Amino acid sequence: MAPAQSTLRRKLRDEYAMPFAAHYIQHRRRYSSLMMVAFSAYVLQNTYAGLTGGPSSKRKAKAAQQTQGAQGKPGGPGDVAEKSAAGGAVDTGGRGGGAGGRRKRRGPRVEVDALFFQRLTRLLRIVLPSFRSKEASLLLLHSFFLVLRTLLSLYVASLDGSIVSALVRAQPRQFLIRIVTWMAVAVPATYTNSMLTYLQSKLAIAYRTRLTKKVHEDYLDGTTFYALGNLDDRIKNADQLIVVDIQKFSTSLAEIYSNIAKPILDVILYNWQLSRNVGAEGLIALTIIVQASAALLKWATPPFGRYAAEEQRLEGEYRFSHTRLLEHAEEIALLRGSETEKNIIERTYYALIRHVNRVFRMRMAYSLVEEAIVKWVWGSLGLCVCAVPVFGMRLLGMSGGAGGGIDFGSRTEGFVTNRRLLLSASDALGRLMSTYRDLSELSGYTARVSELLDTMDDVKAGRYQKKLVGGGSTAGRTVGKDEEVAENAKILQGRGKIIHSDDEIIFDKVPIVTPNGDVLIKSLSFYVKPGNHLLVVGGNGTGKSSLFRILGGLWPIYGGTVTKPPASEFTYIPQRPYLSLGTLRDQIIYPHSRAQMLERGITDSNLLDILKMLELDSIVEREGGWDTQREWRDALSGGDKQRLAMARLFYHCPKYAILDECTSAVTLQIEQTFYERATELGITLLTVSHRPSLWKYHKYILQYLGGGDYAFGPLNWEERLALQEEKQSLEQKLAEVPVWESRLTDLLKERETREARKERI
């Protein structure tokens, strides 16, 4: 058996192994290139899989979505009653009662997975609308410079080697020529680098502009901005999202392109060149090690995307606490509330800082591992690969090849060039690995911006997601608690109808429901005909202003029919009127522009006449003319602001005016002038006021009686005033009863004392 075995072994060696080795050595360069192409493809595919969470990422995304769906399903113990406010569908947005003890994720899911690429694709369609767009041209130019920089680096690597070679061979002329070439290369190289930085910034700003434009279009479309904050819970600080997150997303997207495209290009070109210089074997071994360490790095990478999204959320809350302080500066200052506000602001700040510090610590630990692997492990392995031409060729018994040990100068040149190429290649791979962190952060910004867009789409389509209370209603006093909850839940399932009319308002069995699901009135019916001013009265929080929110189309209706003219036929004047940024004139004509004012044939002198009627004409001179710009909110008194709002009503002269306690800061004289002039102009008024002085201007009354009851009918103001006066006088008398009773007790005591004294005498 043994001789037969050794014969077979010899046969195998002589007939197969040796000819194959000889063939391989003969065609080694060709095989090297082939192997390098295959390996580069493998490396890049593997890196991509690593970046996208592996081939199972789609499965993972699906599984996660299923989990989210399951979490959102109602009916579990401690389930929160969540439903789409208008549509009645149960919210499956990932909130609600899930399995007990499961950690709740705040905000959207943030991972580098299929969902991320789906979201990113949507955003890319916005920022890169077509191949002919400015952004596409910028991207193309950017790509051109990226390729140019890699080619220049390749050239510089070989130039570097030949300079050292000229040096060790003591060839001064060659050395000088190459140094001059080196300096000449500096011109396109520095220009390329500057262009890359410039184009990246240009791309970032171009992306931001596209996205911001799209968001502004949606956000300021009708009442979306109101609905986002009031009817839907998903977006907390839309301002932070629009101002900061879009900018961060755009910068991150512009960076990620060069951070990924350049290293990929580098890996391919450098490896290809290296394989030609040193052979593929060493590189393949190195690649396997690199892949293993890359997998380790990926495994060790914390979820930076989630952290970035959380950081933005906390930034938003901190910023919001400051915005609130400025908005209510006067009230807080007068209440001496600075200490409390400081505590609130500091709480939000430290929540942010705690989070940021935690992320910093994680980044540091991650950078330590990353640098140890990328710089030191890969660096030393790289040196070994560079030695392949020197020692490897000798071991293979070869005399040819790039570094085939011909002479000292050539060996040095080969070593320097290869080392430079290898450093660049390992640097490129390192950058490719660290893009996982960048990509992870980009996924955080992508998730936030996408959530804003998705929520705006939903809100515009009337699909709200809000935590509804429902059962906590003030209505349904007469029925038991369970029945009340069931009745309110039924109301919340309904949908109302809006009919447009030219001039009348009719509410037919319309429930008044707050965005939180509180049913204030189960079924409200009343009407307003032109000229029949309506007075709305009732206790605080009974739903007087809510009625106007429904009229203005801000709140959805859950039942009945609302017949009304379009929202443009209404002007709303609240107790604290809104004053915009702009000139004094803008405050009166808001939301019109000066051009629109002139188009309507109205001049500054017409505006002055309106102000004269309201005894406010002096304001023009006092403030320095119509074109003066100020923060009017702070510059004017409460009475000035209310009179400016009245002037606005006379400028617009709509069919209906909603007056919500809008005369509380003006004199009775101005109030009278205002109501009389509005009536003359044919404006029908819907007034909310507790002032009896206003009753005489109204023909109908809608009275909220509390507990969900109301009364509607003609207003006999004289009779009502007489009743009010009698009621007040009786109340005054009743208030004096305890005083009289106490006086009577004193008198009785005094009489008893006197009688007792008389008896003693």
Ligand X SMILES: Nc1ncnc2c1ncn2[C@@H]1O[C@H](COP(=O)(O)OP(=O)(O)OP(=O)(O)O)[C@@H](O)[C@H]1O
* Residues near ligand X, by CB under 6 A: 230, 514-516, 520, 538, 540-546
Q: Which amino acid is at 21?
A: A
Decide whether 199 or 688 has the Cβ nearer to ligand X: 688
Please say whether the beta carbons of 560 and 511 come within 8 A: yes
Residue closer to ligand X, measured from CB, 155 or 320: 320
In whole angstroms, the minimum distance from the beta carbon of 106 to ligand X comes to: 22
3-state SS track over 700-721: EEEEEEECCEEEEEECCHHHHH
| Shortest Å, Cβ 683 to ligand X | 21
> Cβ closer to ligand X: 108 or 515?
515
Minimum Å gap between C-beta 469 and ligand X is 9
CB 90 within 8 A of CB 37: no
Query: Taking the complex as a whole, how short is the minimal distance between the CB of residue 512 and ligand X, in angstroms?
Result: 8
Min dist. Cβ of residue 719 to ligand X (A): 24
Least distance in angstroms from the C-beta of 751 to ligand X? 51
Nearer to ligand X, 279 or 517 (CB): 517
Contacts of 388 (CB under 8 A, 6+ apart): 278, 279, 281, 282, 403
CB of 375 to ligand X, least distance (A): 56
Helix, strand, coil abundance in the chain, percent, nearest 5: 65, 10, 25
462 with 87: CB under 8 angstroms?
A: yes
Residue 559 beta carbon to ligand X: minimum distance, rounded to whole angstroms: 17
List C-alpha distances in Å: 556 to 365, 486, 522.
Answer: 51, 20, 14
In whole angstroms, how close is the CB of 545 to ligand X at the nearest point?
3
CB of 659 to ligand X, least distance (A): 13
Nearer to ligand X, 542 or 571 (CB): 542
Minimum CB distance to ligand X smaller for 120 or for 459: 459
Min. distance of Cβ 82 from ligand X in angstroms?
15
CB of 250 within 8 A of CB of 205?
A: yes
Nearer to ligand X, 107 or 543 (CB): 543
Beta bridge partners of 563: 499, 506
Exposure on the CB side of residue 460, measured as CA atoms within 13 A: 13
Please, which residue, 72 or 538, has the CB nearer to ligand X? Answer: 538
Nearest by Cα to 446 from 205, 226, 211, 213: 211
Q: Which is nearer to ligand X, 133 or 514 (CB)?
A: 514
* CB of 80 vs ligand X, minimal distance in Å: 16
Q: Which is nearer to ligand X, 107 or 538 (CB)?
A: 538
Which is closer to ligand X, CB of 555 or CB of 697? 555
DSSP label at residue 472: T
Question: Do 558 and 512 contact (CB within 8 A), yes or no?
Answer: no
- The closest alpha carbon to 590, from 515, 644, 658, 655, belongs to 644
Nearer to ligand X, 174 or 545 (CB): 545
Closest CA to 684 of 467, 494, 535: 535
**Six-digit token pair at 270?**
């450098």
What does residue 532 show for φ and ψ, rounded to 5 degrees? -90, 85
Considering the complex, state which of residue 545 and residue 628 has its C-beta at the smaller distance from ligand X.
545
Cα–Cα distance, 639 to 662 (Å, whole number): 10
Residue 313 Cβ vs ligand X, minimum distance, rounded to whole Å:
21
What does DSSP assign to residue 90?
A: B
Please tell me the distance from the alpha carbon of residue 252 to that of residue 681, in angstroms, as a whole number.
57
Minimum CB separation from ligand X for residue 230, in Å?
4
Nearer to ligand X, 233 or 640 (CB): 233
- What distance in Å separates the CA atoms of residue 666 and residue 668, rounded to the nearest whole number? 7
Q: What minimum distance in Å lies between the beta carbon of 702 and ligand X? A: 11
553-576 burial code (b ≥16 CB/10 A, e <16):
bbbbbbbbebebbeeebbbbbbbe
Comparing C-alpha atoms, which of 378, 113, 371, 184 is closest to residue 267? Answer: 378
The Cα–Cα gap between 503 and 697 comes to 20
Containing H/E element for 528?
strand 519-528
CA 258, 262, 268 angle in degrees (round to 5)? 160
Query: Distance between the two ends of the chain, CA-based, in angstroms?
Result: 156
133 or 545, CB closer to ligand X? Answer: 545
Q: Which residues of 511-543 are buried (b: 16+ CB within 10 A; e: fewer)?
A: bbbbbebbbbbbbbebebeeebbbbbbbeeebb
Cβ proximity to ligand X: between 438 and 661 the closer is 661
Q: CB burial class (10 A; 0-12, 13-18, 19+) of residue 257?
A: middle
Least distance from ligand X to the Cβ atom of residue 542, Å: 4
Q: Identity (one letter) of the amino acid at 678?
A: A
Count the Cβ atoms, other than its own, within 10 Å of residue 206.
22
